[in-house]
Structure 1
Amino acid sequence: MTMKKLELVFIPTPAIGHFVSSVEFAKRLLLRDDRFSASFLVKAAAPHSVSVFLRPEVLGVKFIESHKFCVKDSIINQVLLPEPVSVVGLVVDTFTISMIDVATELGFPSYLFNTSGYLNPIPSNVLPSLLFDKDGGGYLCFLNLVRRFKETKAIINNSFEELESHAVKTLSELEDYINNKPIFTVGPLLDVLHGRQTQSSLRSAIRSNMRKL
């Protein structure tokens, strides 16, 4: 009898920084425990039209949200049906966090993977201007994304505590914000030797919308 693999479905933002960190995290996990397997769902197309009322960053988030049905269909038909696997969770990042709604519908837990680490205290004037843009929607968009962090089962961060101890400690103390969920540091996850191969993999994954590890 074939033993079912414990499948994690990664839904990273289709940008090289998010994709590389997510792939390295999956590779490290699979090397540590061969009971797991991983699938990646990556949306290829860009929005067909750009609203003059929304910043590009906000439009990108809305575009990702509009593909919940496609993601659900892909998980059912391309992950669950072809092979004897047991999906144990969806791994999302900040910009794909709306996909936790898909996880809830399918009865899977969801995990947040912060691909670029936390931020220790920095002056507000070095933050991206869109975080202060209340008229263009940037401020509210990011606020709503962060508010959903507490709906995930755990927060996984591409960093290590010695590097960002203040940020890890502060987040751990925000009990009302994270609902006492566990916080894991698994970094640094880098692909310094195979950068070109990873970019090629990203292009291939985007063309096919899914890449199996």
Structure 2
Amino acid sequence: MVMKAELVFIPMPRLGHFVSMAQLAKLLLDLHPNLSITVLIMKLIPDAELDAHVHSLTATRIKFIHLPSPETHKDLSPANFITNLVQTHVPLVKQAATNIVHYSTSVLDSPRFAGFLSVPSYVFYASGAAFLGFQFYALGLHDEQNVNIFELKDSDTEFTIPSYLNPVSSKLFPTVMLKPESLPMMNTLARGLRKAKGIMINTFWELESHAISSLSEGSAPPVYPVGPILNLESESEVHQSSDIMKWLDEQPPGASKGSFKGDQVKEIACALEQSGHRFLWSLRQPPDPSKDPMASPTDYDDGSEVLPEGFLDRTHGIGKIIGWAPQLAILGHPAIGWFVSHCGWNSTLESIWFGVPIAAWPIYAEQQLNAFKSVRELGLAVEIKMDYRRDGIGSDEIEIVSAKTIEKGIRSMMEEGSDVRKRVKEMSEKSRKALMNGGSSHSTTRRLVDDVMNNMFTKSYEV
């Protein structure tokens, strides 16, 4: 009798996390015919893009179970809401898993589920290996040295963190860890990660060999670099006839994306105009945090209302202003020479895949540390402002980056472009080879599947 196994995926209910995990699910299914996968979907808020992506996967071997949203989340902070969501759904998760399989394991993007379920739990980590090392380091500071990172929010202290080659300034630590109300949540997440049976990381050996080695030498669970996990199909054909792509087709090879309020938009516009370089600008308005702090940016009805007077006329033919951007399709176009990026990990991997250097302008989350790694450690990016924070730590005022600073970063792109571009092209080739048969990530993923199957069939787990 052929034994079959089921993986239960519990992704964080945000599109960026869900898309990566869905791609991982398809990859695992391709590697082993006796695997099947069920994804449990939780909703923080109504999300049409997430719904559309789930619908696009209904013809695959992936099954979906939609879990109802808690009704009590409206008055909770994001951190407390996640806790509430986890506690609410644990019984439903157990029931769903019991109905699905006898032998099962969970592949968790939300490590707060680890320990709640009586099955072996693997984590899919959507950020890089270096940042995972930072999370463990920060937890050690708190638990072993009684140091609270939020006490460093006004300092410029440098730390020697094993997963980074160079000392890291506290100015680059994630904002969520510099607030006393959210640091306990982050420490709890890190403790959950330590309890996992294994951690799959969306990275590859050639990009983060030092960080991966440091994790393997420490007390972390086994780590599996399985990336880059990218959703390359979504941009393949649908945008090719769009006005954006037609405009790019008219540009010479090697010819620039977040959301900002009006004052910052004007500084960016002035810098672009003064630089004289061609640009494609995805101009979007930030959501109103008082209405929904988890909402996504939206397109302007009329972008000219936030731009300097006459800007569109003066840059006609040189630049193009758009709303939402088909990022992968744009990055893959030969006219794109640079990418002004907030340095989210997915965007970083996408830029590397297409061989497009980054001009780093991080905003929130772990983006400052991603920028540090890309600029200082890997030489795959140049800096616009690496320690920028939009959430105004220690102040009610949001910093405005001047046109002069932005223009300096743009000019630095062009001056340093040849060396950085060469390194990015080389890393792009390595990223693609990592996923090929026999490549570093392909081999690691095969080993992971073997580990999971062996674990399932050597012991019976009650769910």
CA contact (8 A) 2:73 2:81 kept: no
Of 75, 93, 115, the residue aligned with 1:71 is 93
Q: 1:129 to 1:47 in 2, by over 3 A?
A: farther
Alignment of 1:1-213 (within 5 A): 3-44=2-43, 45=69, 48-51=72-75, 55-77=77-99, 79-80=100-101, 86-93=102-109, 96-104=110-118, 108-118=119-129, 119=131, 121=164, 123-134=169-180, 136=181, 138-175=182-219, 178=220, 181-194=221-234
Q: 1:59 to 1:186 in 2, by over 3 A?
A: same
Could you tell me which residue of structure 2 aligns to residue 83 of structure 1?
none
Identity, in percent, stands at: 32
1:131 shift after superposition? 0.9
Cα distance between partner residues in 2 of 1:131 and 1:65: 23
Cα distance between partner residues in 2 of 1:64 and 1:193: 31
Cα distance between partner residues in 1 of 2:122 and 2:229: 17
SS at 1:8 equivalent:
strand
1:124 shift after superposition? 3.2
CA contact (8 A) 2:70 2:88 kept: no
1:125 shift after superposition? 2.3
Cα distance between partner residues in 2 of 1:49 and 1:156: 30
1:50 shift after superposition? 4.4
SS at 2:13 equivalent:
coil
Amino acid at match of 2:29: L
Whichever of the two has the greater Rg, that structure is 2
Cα distance between partner residues in 2 of 1:193 and 1:123: 38
Amino acid at match of 1:48: T
1:193 shift after superposition? 2.2
Cα distance between partner residues in 2 of 1:195 and 1:87: 36
Cα distance per residue 1:46-68 (max 9 Å; x no partner): 653445xx642343233223321
For CA contacts below 8 A with separation 6 or more, give which structure has more relative contact order.
1
Amino acid at match of 2:6: E
- What's the TM-score, normalizing by structure 1? 0.73
CA contact (8 A) 1:65 1:98 kept: no
Q: 1:61 to 1:170 in 2, by over 3 A?
A: farther
Q: 1:42 to 1:195 in 2, by over 3 A?
A: farther
Q: 1:195 to 1:131 in 2, by over 3 A?
A: farther
What number of residue pairs does the alignment pair up? 176
Amino acid at match of 1:141: M
SS at 1:65 equivalent:
helix
- What's the TM-score, normalizing by structure 2? 0.35
Cα distance per residue 1:133-179 (max 9 Å; x no partner): 11x2x10110011012221111111110111122212211212xx2x
SS at 2:207 equivalent:
coil
Q: 1:69 to 1:46 in 2, by over 3 A?
A: closer
Cα distance between partner residues in 1 of 2:173 and 2:71: 26
CA contact (8 A) 2:13 2:41 kept: yes
SS at 1:133 equivalent:
coil
Moved more, 38-47 or 55-64: 55-64
CA contact (8 A) 1:157 1:183 kept: yes
CA contact (8 A) 2:73 2:84 kept: no
The runs of 5 or more residues in structure 2 that have no matched partner are 44-68, 132-162, 237-463
